[in-house]
Amino acid sequence: MDHKSGQSPHRDSSLSIDQSENSKVDAINDFKPEPEPEMEEETRPDPETVLKREPTGPNPTDFPDGGLQAWLVVVGGFCAVFCGFGWINCIGVFQNYYEHNQLKHYSSSTIAWIPSTQSFMLFFPGFLAGKMTDEMGPRIPILLGSFLHVFGIMMTSLSTEFYQIFLAQAVCSGLGCCFLFYPVIVAAGTWFRRHRALAFGIITAGSSIGGVVLPIMVQRLIPHIGFGWTMRAVGFLFLGLLTIANLTIKSRLPPARRPFNVMEMVKPFTEKPFLLLALGAFFIYVGGFLPFNYIILQGEASGMSTDLASYLVPILNAASTFGRILPAHLGDSFGVFNVMIVLTGFAAIMTLALWLPAAANAPIIVYAVMYGFASGCTLSIIPAMVAKLGHISQLGARSGALYAFSSVGVLIGSPIGGAIQKNQHGGYSGLIIFTGVALLIGTFFAFLSRAAQVGLKIKVRV
C-alpha cells in the first residue's frame, strides 16, 4: 500500500479505468453532427397533427349515402341503363319489323338470331366488363360501351342485308349495352350502402322506362321518316344521354386491380345449390324472353290491329317496372327463393292457361300485364338469390358465372321458338307451350336449389 497517497494500487487501477471510460463518453458527447437546416415555422408540422393524420385516399367503409356527386352518379346510371338495357327490352319490335320488311325472305327462326344474340351479348361478356372496371375504373368501360352502342345503331341504319344487321345491331350494339350496365352498377355501389337498394332501383328503372318509351318512338317514327332515319334519331338521342352518363359516373374508390382467376367462375358449379339454380336460370332464360320477341306477331296473327299490337311490348315493360320493385321488397320479408319460385310458376301458368288459348285482344293484353309483372321479378331477382349462396365478396364472380351460363339460354331460346312457329306454318301454340314448359322446368330446378339448402320445409324464409 502506498502510505503517501493512502490508496492501494488496485484503487488507482480502478480510477484509471473509470477515467478512460469517462473520456470515451466525453468524446462521444463532444461529437456534434452538423445541424440539419431548420424548417420554416409555417411549414413545420405539428406533432399532434402527424399522430392524428388519416391515411391518404377515401375510406372504403365510409359511404356518403347521398350528396351531389352520389346522386349525379345515379342520374348518369339511369341514362346509361335507359340506353342499354332499355334498348334490349324493345327487341320484339325489330323481330316484327324485319319479318315484314328488309328480311321478309328469311324465316322467323333465322331472324330471331338477331334479338337473341343481342340479349346474349348483354349477359355473357359481363365478366369482361367487370374485370375492366376492376382494373381501370368505370369510365373507360362506359366510354367504350357508349361508342360501340351508338356506332352499332348508326351502322344498323345503313344495313340492308342480314349479316350487316346481325353484326351491327346484335353484336356491336349488344356488346356496347353490356359495357353500359355492369360498370354502372359497380360505380353506384361505391357511393351508397344504406340507400343502395333505392339507388339501384332508380338506375335499373331506366331499363323498364326505356322499354316503354323506345318501342313507341321507333314504331311511330318509321312510317314518317323511314327506318334509316329512325335509327339515326335513336342514335342521336343515345349520344346525348350517354354524354351525361360519361360526365357524371365515376367510382368513389380507386380501381381494385384484383388478378383474374378463372377458377372463381368454375368453382361455384361444384356446389349443388348453385348448380341447380344455374340450371333453373338457364331454362327460365330459354323461355323467358320469347313473349317479348313474339307477342306482337302473335297478337297480329290473332286479329289484333297493328296499332294496338305495337303497344304490347311497352305494356310488358311497364308492368315489369312494378315487378322489379314490389317482389324484391317481399323477398326481404319472405325470402328471395320463395318469391321467385312463386312468381316464375305463376308466369308459366299464365302462359299456358291464358296466352295459349288467347284469341282476342282482351286476354292478350291481360297476359301482357300479368307476364310483365312476373317476369320483372324472375329476370331481376336472380342476383339476390346468388348472394344467398355465398359470401358477398364473391358476388361479382358468382353472378358473372351464372349469367355466362344462363345467357346461352337467351341465345338459343328465340331461334328454337321461331323454328317451332315455322313448323306450324305460322301457328303460335307450339311456341307458347315451349315457353310455358321451359318456365316450369326452370321453376322446378329453382325449387330443387331451395330444397338443397333447407330441405322441403315450406315455411323457411330463404
Higher pLDDT, 433 or 208: 433
215 pLDDT exceeds 60? Answer: yes
Please spell the DSSP secondary structure of 151-213, one letter per residue: HHHHHHHT--SHHHHIIIIIIIIHHHHHHTTHHHHHHHHTT-STTHHHHHHHHHHHHHHHHHH
**What is the per-residue pLDDT across 377-404, written as a single tens digit (0 to 9) for each?**
776 677 778 777 876 556 667 777 888 8
Segment 209-236 shows an average pLDDT of: 93
Q: CA–CA separation, 150 vs 154, rounded Å?
A: 6
The string of DSSP letters for 394-426 reads GHHHHHHHHHHHHHHHHHHHHHHHHHHHHHTTT
Average pLDDT estimate for 289-318: 91
Q: 437 versus 17: which is more confidently predicted?
A: 437
Give the confidence band of 303 by pLDDT, cuts at 50, 70, 90: very high
Please report the pLDDT score of residue 4 as a whole number: 43
173 closest CA partner among 151, 143, 142: 151
Domains of the chain: 64-250 (1.20.1250.20), 267-462 (1.20.1250.20)
30-40 residue pLDDT tens: 445 445 444 44
Q: What pTM, to 2 d.p., does this model score?
A: 0.76
Task: List the end-to-end C-alpha distance of the chain, in Å, as a whole number.
Answer: 99
pLDDT at 444: 96
pLDDT at 58: 62
| CA distances in angstroms from 130 to 146, 157, 384, 408, 459, listed in the order given | 16, 30, 18, 19, 37
pLDDT digits (tens, 9 = 90+) for 107-146: 888 999 999 999 899 888 887 887 788 788 889 999 999 9
pLDDT at 63: 67
Look at 15-19, 86-90, 192-196, 354-358 and tell me which has the smallest mean pLDDT: 15-19
Residue 45 has pLDDT above 50, yes or no: no
CB of 202 closer than 8 Å to CB of 74? yes
Q: Tell me the average pLDDT across 46-72.
A: 62
Query: Around Cβ 27, how many Cβ atoms within 10 Å?
Result: 9
CA angle 43, 45, 47 (to 5 degrees): 165
Query: Above 80 in pLDDT, residue 28?
Result: no
Mean residue pLDDT across the chain: 82
**Percentage of residues in the chain having pLDDT higher than 90:** 45
Which residue in the block uniquely carries the three cell numbers 356446389?
Answer: 271
Tens digits of per-residue pLDDT, 162-213? 999 999 999 999 999 999 988 887 788 788 777 766 777 788 788 888 988 9
The grid coordinates of residue 404 equal: 355466362
Beta carbons within 8 Å of 109's beta carbon, 6+ residues apart: 415, 416, 417, 418, 419, 421, 422
pLDDT of residue 118: 92
